[in-house]
A and B are shown apart, each in its own frame.
Chain A
Amino acid sequence: MDELKGTMGTGRKVNGHVRHGSIERFTTTVTQTITADYCCIAAATIVTSPSSGRDDSVITNGFLSKPEKLLSNGLSNGSLHKHEVVLPDIIASSGDASLVASESRLQEEDEMSHEGSMTPTEPVDLAPAEDIADEEFEDCALYVDIITIIGYIYLHIFGYLRDFLRKLKIERSLTPQEKNNKGFVPLYNDWENFYKRNVYVRARDVVDKPICSVPGPVISVMERSTPNYGWTFKFTGHKVQCINMASYNYLGFAQPSGVCADASINTLERLGVSNVSARNDVGSQPIHVELEDLVARFVGTEAALTFGMGFATNSANIPALVDKRCAILSDAFNHASIVTGARLSGATVKVFKHNDMKDLEAKLKEMILTGHPRTRRPFKKILIIVEGIYSMEGSICKLPEIIALKKKYKAYLYLDEAHSIGALGPHGRGVVDYFGLDARDVDIMMGTFTKSFGSSGGYIAGSRALINHLRHSSGAMVYSAAMPPPIAQQIITSMKVIMGEDGTDEGARRIKQLADNTRYLRTELRRLGFIVYGSKDSPVVPLLTFNFGRGIAFARLLMQRGVAIVVVGFPVTPVRLCRARLCVSAFHTREMLETVVREIDYLGDLCRLKYSRKHGPYSKKKTKVPRLKAECDKE
């Protein structure tokens, strides 16, 4: 055991021999999973047994060589310094330990990330779309639920135990204490921070990871070490190169060079970094007008408005549209900004089940018939709020049905396209484009520029009357600073590329590439037996780990293997549905995705994440998920 711990600690170099080995098969699944949970949560020591050597050829030939080639492009071997903690196939640029890299290194990095990114593979022919289920929310077996709950009970028992020890001063409490304010009512309820103290801290090393590069297809993550199991972190000064499956850079416009960056720098010189005034005061510049016209044209509405922050776009505009005599019907998985906006508006809020049209119709009917629950007056307006792609579920809203319902019951529709604009549809114009509908059927089109456009901020598009109304009544328009010019310019340039107005077919190519990458990753993961939620075309790929500890261990080990992903657990998702989320980008090359799939495949076995009973190794029916045509041809 000691030897094994050592191998995990020193990383891939030694571990390389161990890791593709078959994992010791325990007799019952339950014991196995409990053991795995224990290991995952307590520390990342996972019990493996030395391999029989069966897979060694795969490791040396396929596994290590490709990423090495992929990642080390553009880096001269002289400057390449491998350090012990990080894997050899991940470049460790630990020559100088300072956080601020020298200019030359910067350029090297830039070149490198471009080498990998600028040459996407040729799009492949895809198998007919009907082969994959449109939307899947496969449920796990009962034992997985039991294991998950046991995991939480375990965490809570130990949490209470340790809290007790902290109270007795046996364990030193590392929670910050309030220094002054003696005799005040405590600022936090004791249980409020229980979860943070005893659960979140244990998993802190997989979240909040700072990066020091462009959020492109390959990122450098700043390595941290923690002397006290997640309470505080110190930077070691090393950087770890990872394949980025975490950022929302769907179309790959987050670039430090190229048309977008050049145009932004030009605008910055012309119009300044920021304009410290609100749009309604003196903060308007021609670039804002240009941007708003372009957005309206892109989305297909009469007019549009832009704001400096995506969150504020929702939270400031919903209150400007509905008041306390109105009602809001909101999807169960709507974003926090929508919830905040709805709360600010004071309207009666009802939540319908996620993407459940029957429930939506029933609630709509009930609202019209009963009226306001307190005053018993009929509602003045009913606003349905849905998102295009749900960021945690990867599902696409059923827009045609919603529009039909909205028309039937005379409600208004607010569509939040934060994730779908740019990433969905044959022309990248979001969920309306995806379903081939008319944007004018949606009353309020909202979206953000953070994701596909590699910028920041948000927009509201709709009829001219709506936009004129919001121009004077939205808090973000009247009080908040206008969108900074370089930010606006980035959106204009990238949007023009997507629309093909720059004279190239770059935009169309990126959209196609994103669709291909999405299909590839989703099909491969399903084939391997993972439970992947959501629609087949959504670039948000949630991979269900169910168990919290396993999810964390999965992310931790995947990071060690050079893939950065996001894991979300209980406060964000329901208790039993912890998940890892992968975001596909158009700039992921096929080799990168192959590496990612291979690593996930391996860790899926190690952490026992291949839960699917429909396909994959543990399926009952042995139905195969159809592979992509090109993949079949290769074989």
Chain B
Amino acid sequence: MPRFSKTIFLPFVVFPILIATHGFQSKNPNASWVEHILGTSWMHFLLEISLTLYIIYVSIHKMKRNSPNPLKESLEQLTEKEKENLIKEWTPEPLVPASFVQDIEMNEAHRPKVVCESKIAKYVSCNGRQYLNMSSYNFLNFVGNAQLEETAKRTIRKYGVGSCGPRGFYGTVDVHLELEEKIAKFMQCEEAILYSYGTATISSAIPAYSKRGDLIFVDDGVNFSIQQGLVVSRSNLKYFRHNDVKHLESLLEALRLQDQIALSRPRRHFLEKDDVDHPSKRRVFLVVEGLYANYGDLCPLPQLVALKKKYKFRIFLDETFSIGVIGRTGRGVTEHFDVARDDIDLYTGSLENALGSTGGFCCGSTFVIDHQRLSGLGYCFSASLPPLLAAAASTALDLVQERPELFDQLRANSEYMHKELSRLPGLSLHGLPGSPLKHLRLAVPSESRQQDADLLNRVVNHVYTNGSTLFITAKYAPAETLLPQPSIRVAVNAELTQSEMTSAVQEIASAAKEVLL
């Protein structure tokens, strides 16, 4: 867009003034009608016209000289020959650097490469051996559940496998609507929206609301899909230390002071418009996880809600790991902390973890959720969830409500495992006692991250080759911006028996003793 110089407006001001000040001087009755109207002679009129044209010419010329693309200008100075040579000289990097894979393979030499020949349920078989699975997010043991499988089979017989279209274009099957209704009811919200992939849910939801100029406060322990959503939104980000409410409050207080200054500043002139990040226009959000995937602890929700009321921001709560896990009946952290449902503006959850299916969902008030039906990228532009998976998730939700004792079992198992795992030699346990997701980190980390990761991989590999339990270290993509310390991730299953847990702990304890001490 070429920028017009302000001089271009000059003739529009000067020209009428010239005419107006000239006055109707020509009283000559023989004068032409032009002279009567203009009140001046032809010569004078031509002079004014040429003056106007000159001003326009100058302003356009100036505009040309202020061309905003100096790069293009420098290109014009090159001859064709030079251009050809430059193009020939340019050698790109290879598409993928060979060193990256080599490094990874060296670092992960001891990480077991697991290919399971069976269902990835409580027990899995790899390489012909049976393992107790302590590493997949099968918290409620719904993988391999006969009821889920029966529903899925029936759905294939009715609807086939794929849905062959996005939700808007005849890809909505009645099971989707049924599931959305069920989720909304389960989460005690007005409306729910279904996505076809767990990790695409929050990364589509954040950019639907938060745009350029808006401000998001983020806990610096959030998971990868939230990080991606933040990047896509192009909003301004402010990170606070993991679960540190004091730090968040100090950031909010600083922001409030800044806002006061910005709001008290008088407008320079009448037509001035506020910038996109002016406090009167800028929306503020807080994005936190319910149960942190990378740390295994809960967010301090009551304090955050108190801050929300004081500083007026909206809370997006990612319950990917806490739905069907935390709370008396598995309804997530709001139930655990007994926080009012309406205080959280948007919940996102996943059907991929506790509920044993695939996909994700958002829920909240109709005012919030309905917007995503046209603005959620992963909702509008992706094929809908295969009906069989939606039906399976729907059955899983029924089961969750039928069997609330599952959550008591899960909590008891998690607490038992917490007690046992915290005694491991050389390892320190992170996470809440009641949460089934735990991270074992080195008690005394060394300087080198690689070395730590390698040690933990060795521990896991020792159990994998000698024992009959499957543990795995947490893996992070290179694009991860908030890299936590390397850890062994332990996921507790609700239907583990006492003896199974004891043997699993014994195996990892002996491996840790062997490798670390």
Q: Residues of A with Cβ closer than 8 Å to B?
A: 99-100, 106, 110, 176-181, 183-188, 193, 196, 200, 207-216, 219, 221-222, 244, 246-249, 253-257, 260-261, 264-265, 268-278, 280-286, 289, 308-312, 315-316, 319-321, 335-337, 340, 343-344, 346, 365-366, 368-370, 373, 378-382, 409-412, 443-444, 448-451, 453-456, 465-466, 468-470, 472-481, 484, 486-487, 490, 564, 566, 571
Q: Do B148 and A273 touch across chains, with their CB atoms under 8 A apart?
A: yes
CA distance A412 to B199 in the complex (A): 28
Which single member of B87, B96, B234, B377 contacts A311 (CB below 8 Å)? B377
- A sample of 13 more A-B contacts (CB under 8 A), given A215-B163, A310-B383, A380-B93, is A184-B313, A208-B168, A253-B162, A277-B135, A312-B378, A337-B377, A370-B72, A410-B92, A456-B161, A469-B97, A478-B475, A478-B477, A487-B386
Q: Is B60 an interface residue (CB 8 A)?
A: no
Q: Is B173 an interface residue (CB 8 A)?
A: yes
Q: Do A185 and B392 touch across chains, with their CB atoms under 8 A apart?
A: no
Task: Known A99-B174, A455-B162; judge A382-B365 contact (CB<8 A).
Answer: no
Q: Do A275 and B100 touch across chains, with their CB atoms under 8 A apart?
A: no
CA distance A380 to B90 in the complex (A): 9
Q: Do B160 and A255 touch across chains, with their CB atoms under 8 A apart?
A: yes
**Nearest B-chain residue to A247, judged by Cβ:** B164
Q: Do A487 and B381 touch across chains, with their CB atoms under 8 A apart?
A: no
Q: Do A370 and B164 touch across chains, with their CB atoms under 8 A apart?
A: no
Chain A residue contacts of B74, Cβ below 8 A: 370
Q: Is B414 an interface residue (CB 8 A)?
A: no
CA distance A33 to B24 in the complex (A): 52
Counting chain A CB atoms within 10 Å of each CB, which of B225, B371, B382 scores highest?
B382
Chain-A contact segment, one of B5-13, B14-22, B113-121: B113-121
CA distance A311 to B198 in the complex (A): 12
* Shortest beta-carbon distance from A510 to chain B in Å: 15
Which single member of B120, B152, B196 contacts A275 (CB below 8 Å)? B120
0/1 string, B161-194, CB within 8 A of A gives 1: 1111101111111101100000000000000000
Q: Do A380 and B92 touch across chains, with their CB atoms under 8 A apart?
A: yes
Q: Residues of B with Cβ closer than 8 Å to A?
A: 71-72, 74-75, 78, 83, 86-87, 90-93, 95-98, 100-101, 104, 114-121, 124, 133, 135-138, 143-144, 148-149, 152-153, 156-165, 167-174, 176-177, 196-200, 203, 209, 223-225, 228, 231-232, 234, 279-284, 312-314, 342-343, 345, 352-353, 356-358, 365-368, 370-371, 373-374, 377-378, 380-383, 385-386, 388-389, 392, 470, 472, 475-479
* Shortest beta-carbon distance from A140 to chain B in Å: 24
Q: Do B144 and A272 touch across chains, with their CB atoms under 8 A apart?
A: yes
CA distance A26 to B310 in the complex (A): 65
Q: Do A311 and B374 touch across chains, with their CB atoms under 8 A apart?
A: no
Chain B residue contacts of A246, Cβ below 8 A: 165, 169-170
Q: Do A475 and B96 touch across chains, with their CB atoms under 8 A apart?
A: no
* Shortest beta-carbon distance from A97 to chain B in Å: 14
Task: Known A207-B169, A369-B87, A455-B161; judge A276-B314 contact (CB<8 A).
Answer: no
* Shortest beta-carbon distance from A272 to chain B in Å: 4
**Nearest A-chain residue to B229, judged by Cβ:** A344
9 residue pairs, one from A and one from B, having the closest CB atoms: A272-B119, A277-B136, A309-B197, A311-B382, A469-B96, A450-B383, A176-B367, A275-B120, A490-B161
Q: Do A468 and B173 touch across chains, with their CB atoms under 8 A apart?
A: no
CA distance A564 to B172 in the complex (A): 14
CB-defined A-B contacts under 8 Å, sample of 15: A184-B313, A208-B168, A214-B158, A219-B170, A246-B170, A248-B165, A261-B156, A278-B475, A282-B470, A311-B381, A337-B377, A369-B83, A449-B162, A456-B383, A475-B225
Counting chain A CB atoms within 10 Å of each CB, which of B167, B284, B358, B371 scores highest?
B358
Which single member of A216, A276, A455, A564 contacts B386 (CB below 8 Å)? A455
Q: Do A336 and B162 touch across chains, with their CB atoms under 8 A apart?
A: no
Q: Do A369 and B143 touch across chains, with their CB atoms under 8 A apart?
A: no
Chain B residue contacts of A248, Cβ below 8 A: 164-165, 383
CA distance A184 to B309 in the complex (A): 10
A-B contact count (CB 8 A): 359
CA distance A487 to B152 in the complex (A): 11
Chain A residue contacts of B342, Cβ below 8 A: 179-180
Q: Do B159 and A213 touch across chains, with their CB atoms under 8 A apart?
A: yes
Which single member of A285, A320, A336 contacts B116 (CB below 8 Å)? A285
Chain B residue contacts of A207, Cβ below 8 A: 168-169
Which single member of A277, A378, A412, A444 contacts B90 (CB below 8 Å)? A378
CA distance A476 to B225 in the complex (A): 10
Q: Do B477 and A450 touch across chains, with their CB atoms under 8 A apart?
A: no
CA distance A8 to B158 in the complex (A): 34
Chain A residue contacts of B168, Cβ below 8 A: 207-208
Q: Do B164 and A454 touch across chains, with their CB atoms under 8 A apart?
A: yes
Task: Known A264-B156, A337-B382; judge A269-B71 contact (CB<8 A).
Answer: no
Q: Do B169 and A566 touch across chains, with their CB atoms under 8 A apart?
A: yes
* Shortest beta-carbon distance from B282 to chain A in Å: 6
Q: Do B392 and A273 touch across chains, with their CB atoms under 8 A apart?
A: yes
Q: Do B104 and A274 touch across chains, with their CB atoms under 8 A apart?
A: no
Which single member of B92, B165, B475 contacts A215 (CB below 8 Å)? B165
Chain B residue contacts of A470, Cβ below 8 A: 96
Chain B residue contacts of A449, Cβ below 8 A: 162
Chain B residue contacts of A368, Cβ below 8 A: 86-87, 90
CA distance A476 to B196 in the complex (A): 13
Q: Do A265 and B96 touch across chains, with their CB atoms under 8 A apart?
A: no
CA distance A451 to B153 in the complex (A): 21
Chain A residue contacts of B381, Cβ below 8 A: 311, 335-337
Chain A residue contacts of B197, Cβ below 8 A: 308-309, 311-312, 480-481
Chain A residue contacts of B357, Cβ below 8 A: 273-274, 484
**Nearest A-chain residue to B161, judged by Cβ:** A490
CA distance A184 to B138 in the complex (A): 40
CA distance A300 to B152 in the complex (A): 33
Which single member of A208, A454, A474 contacts B160 (CB below 8 Å)? A454
Which single member of A221, A256, A273 contacts B149 (CB below 8 Å)? A273
Which single member of B143, B169, B174 contacts A276 (CB below 8 Å)? B143
